[in-house]
């Protein structure tokens, strides 16, 4: 058990203000975060508000040109209760913890979305999220169990009705016969990545552009010394293959077609519409998500082990993806692709045992008064999120903050496990989507 086990409480230890909730002083510890994607930036936010100095090192940052963008920007960024639509989340321990992590994130994204001016700055909206099935959900045991968990999780606006099929103009010949929906955060990743970086910078984060290669464990002391850091946090996604020496990491290639969603060519789509991998025809996903006011994302593909980013609108899997979406939602046959940025593609950072939020388990043998002793590493890992980085963000960061305290108190490292409190806690500690954040405290959940 961690020396501390603090929940995230918006307004108490997590602040939306452009200064840290708890200001550091000269004696405060410094955390070196490696990785500048959504995982790194949200960890920086959480740690800055707990009074740490934070330096973020990354080989690249979010960009807004026609060049390849960060994986965090490519993401569909529709909040999902795990396992996600792409169907790659299979590790029992990781899945159990993810069901807690996602609800922590849900609460905080919903609080941001509940404030109109803040929501506009951060690019976060609450929208109806619809899931469709080719048979009664009871005939799909895993999906039925997931639906019941969602209904009891505390998400807002849950309802089950086949009427959603007709309401959203789904082609009845496609085979959808059952459906449910709930409200979910949808994040404009370009806008939010810019907002997150400005926020953590205003809270005092330092940014350093550098490509770090090789196992962090083998260069731990050099990095701690060079950056005057007390703890290293690895948020490098797929690069953990080398930086954590984790050979179980692999790419899960994905792509999304971006079409103009302004109501000109087809009725504007205001809700997300999806068929999950295990319920879809030929195990292929239908994933339709409004990105912002004028762009609709059409997906998706999930291709394990594919490193190349050479997909075009003429690639067979992309043409199949569009044909599939048009068969499902016929109005999309008239859709125009975004002329400036027609296709987004990237490599989801997958891992055989899925998400890893734990301390480095390798130790060093040190000489202590002539006797060998084992010294714990000061590295913490937060990677392997696959396509769920945005959905799990704040939940993972809350656990990381507790692990930082363990390192600073020189506690021994242990493998990732489900906390007892998570197994017991099954009630919502505060309603966030139905109240506007006005400076009060919103407890994410234990």
**Tens-digit pLDDT profile for residues 324-333:** 999 999 999 9
Predicted confidence at residue 446, as pLDDT, reads 32
**Which candidate, 282, 293, 387, places its Cα nearest to that of 327?**
282
Residues 6+ apart with CB under 8 A from 310: none
Predicted confidence at residue 241, as pLDDT, reads 97
Of residues 309 and 283, more confidently modeled: 309
DSSP state of 292: S
Winning range, highest mean pLDDT, from 297-301, 364-368, 378-382, 425-429? 378-382
**Alpha-carbon dihedral angle through residues 273, 279, 285, 289, given to the nearest 10 degrees:** 10
Residues 6+ apart with CB under 8 A from 388: 80, 82, 84, 89, 98, 102, 355
Distance CA 275, CA 161 (A): 15
* Confidence category of residue 87, pLDDT binned at 50, 70, 90: low
Of 74-78, 91-95, 259-263, 428-432, where does mean pLDDT reach its minimum?
A: 428-432
DSSP state of 330: G
> Tens digit of pLDDT for each residue in 151-178?
999 999 999 999 999 999 999 888 899 9
**Which candidate, 104, 159, 93, 98, places its Cα nearest to that of 128?**
159
> Tens digit of pLDDT for each residue in 116-128?
999 999 999 999 9
Mean pLDDT of 396-401: 97
Predicted confidence at residue 11, as pLDDT, reads 86
Predicted confidence at residue 421, as pLDDT, reads 45
Q: How far from the centroid of its chain's Cα atoms is residue 45's Cα? A: 15
Q: What is the DSSP string of 82-133?
A: SSPTT-----HHHHHHHHHHHHHHHHHHHHHHTSHHHHHHHTEEEEEEEEEE
Whether residue 369 is predicted with pLDDT greater than 70 in this model: the reply is no
* Confidence category of residue 65, pLDDT binned at 50, 70, 90: confident
Predicted confidence at residue 368, as pLDDT, reads 64
pTM of the model: 0.91
Predicted confidence at residue 433, as pLDDT, reads 35
Cβ neighbours, 10 Å, residue 306: 17
DSSP state of 279: T
Predicted confidence at residue 427, as pLDDT, reads 30
Predicted confidence at residue 35, as pLDDT, reads 98
- For residue 282, CA distances in Å to 88, 141, 276 come to 16, 18, 11
Of 134-143, 364-373, 418-427, where does mean pLDDT reach its minimum?
A: 418-427
What's the whole-number average pLDDT of the chain? 89
Question: And the tokens for 222?
Answer: 């050099």
Contact status, residue 288 vs residue 273, Cβ threshold 8 Å = yes
Whether residue 293 is predicted with pLDDT greater than 90 in this model: the reply is no
- Give me the numbers of helices (H) and strands (E) for the chain, helices first please: 12, 19
Q: Degrees (nearest 5) of the Cα angle 387, 393, 398?
A: 145
Mean pLDDT of 89-94: 82
Cβ neighbours, 10 Å, residue 367: 8
Residues 6+ apart with CB under 8 A from 357: 97, 381, 382, 396, 399, 400, 403, 416
> Tens digit of pLDDT for each residue in 410-439?
999 999 886 544 433 333 333 333 333 333
């Amino acid at each position: 058990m961690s020396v501390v086990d603090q929940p995230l409480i918006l307004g108490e230890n997590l602040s939306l203000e452009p200064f840290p909730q708890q200001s550091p002083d000269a004696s405060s510890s410094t955390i070196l975060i490696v990785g500048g994607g959504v995982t790194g930036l949200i960890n920086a936010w959480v740690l800055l508000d707990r009074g740490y100095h934070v330096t973020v090192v990354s080989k690249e940052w979010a960009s807004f040109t026609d060049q390849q963008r960060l994986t965090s920007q490519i993401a569909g960024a529709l909040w999902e209760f795990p396992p996600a639509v792409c169907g790659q989340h299979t590790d029992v321990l990781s899945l159990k913890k993810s069901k807690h992590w996602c609800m922590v994130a849900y609460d905080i994204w919903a609080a941001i979305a509940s404030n109109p001016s803040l929501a506009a700055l951060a690019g976060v909206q609450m929208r109806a999220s619809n899931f469709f099935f080719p048979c009664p959900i009871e005939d799909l045991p895993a999906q039925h169990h997931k639906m019941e968990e969602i209904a009891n999780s505390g998400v807002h606006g849950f309802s089950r009705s086949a009427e959603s099929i007709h309401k959203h103009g789904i082609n009845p010949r496609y085979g959808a016969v059952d459906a449910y929906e709930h409200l979910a955060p949808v994040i404009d990743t370009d806008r939010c990545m810019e907002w997150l970086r400005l926020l953590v910078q205003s809270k005092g984060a330092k940014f350093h552009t550098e490509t770090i290669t090789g196992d962090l464990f083998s260069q731990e002391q050099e990095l701690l010394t060079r950056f005057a850091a007390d703890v290293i946090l690895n948020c490098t996604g797929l690069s953990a293959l080398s930086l954590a020496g984790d050979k179980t990491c692999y790419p899960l290639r994905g792509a999304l077609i971006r079409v103009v969603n302004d109501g000109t060519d087809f009725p504007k789509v205001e809700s997300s519409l999806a068929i999950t991998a295990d319920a879809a025809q030929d195990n292929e996903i239908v994933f339709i998500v409004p990105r912002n006011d004028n762009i609709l994302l059409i997906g998706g593909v999930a291709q394990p082990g594919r490193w190349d980013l050479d997909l075009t609108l003429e690639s067979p899997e992309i043409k199949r993806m569009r044909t599939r979406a048009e068969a499902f939602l016929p109005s999309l046959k008239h859709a125009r692709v975004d002329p400036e940025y027609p296709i987004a593609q990237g490599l989801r950072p997958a891992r055989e045992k899925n998400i890893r939020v734990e301390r480095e388990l390798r130790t060093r043998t040190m000489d202590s008064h002539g006797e060998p002793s084992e010294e714990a590493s000061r590295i913490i890992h937060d990677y392997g999120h696959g396509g769920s980085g945005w959905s799990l963000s704040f939940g993972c960061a809350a656990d990381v903050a507790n692990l930082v305290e363990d390192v600073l108190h020189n506690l021994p490292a242990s493998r990732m496990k489900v906390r007892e409190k998570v197994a017991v806690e099954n009630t919502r500690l505060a309603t966030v989507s139905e109240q506007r954040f006005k400076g009060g405290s919103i407890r994410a959940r234990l």
